[in-house]
């Protein structure tokens, strides 16, 4: 799958490398900014208060 995606990238080798890095960084940024906070809502954080 990743090999196929790699072959889809246009241009010479160095352009492909730069494109791949940009895509990976964009995916990571999207995860941190949107996906992870949404997933985090599914977790119940530990209770920190005392109460009956």
Partner 1 sequence: MPKLARLNEEAAPRRPRRAKLSLVGVLGEILVTAGVLVLLFLGWQVWLNDIIVGAQQTTAANELAEKWDDAPATSAPAATATPDPAVEAPVPPVDPGEPVIAARPATAESFANLIVPRLGADYRRPIAEGVGFNVLNNRTTGVGHYPQTQMPGEVGNFAIAAHRTTYGAPFHDINTLLVGDNIYVETADGWYQYVYRGTEYVRPTGVGVLEPVPQTAGMAATDRVITLTSCHPYFSSAERVIAYGVFETWFPRAGGPPAEIATLVEAGAN
Residues in the site for partner 1, rule: CB under 8 A? 1-4, 7, 28, 31-32, 36, 39-40, 43, 45-52
Contact 6, 16 (CB under 8 A): yes
Name the nearest CA neighbour of 5 among 14, 30, 28, 19.
19
Question: Tokens standing for 23?
Answer: 């895509």
Shortest distance, CB of residue 36 to partner 1, whole angstroms? 5
Shortest distance, CB of residue 50 to partner 1, whole angstroms? 5
Nearer to partner 1, 10 or 45 (CB): 45
């Amino acid at each position: 799958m990743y090999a196929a995606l790699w072959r889809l990238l246009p241009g010479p080798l160095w352009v492909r490398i730069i494109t791949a890095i940009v895509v990976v960084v964009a995916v990571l940024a999207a995860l941190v900014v949107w996906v992870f906070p949404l997933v985090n809502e599914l977790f119940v954080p530990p209770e920190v208060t005392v109460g009956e």
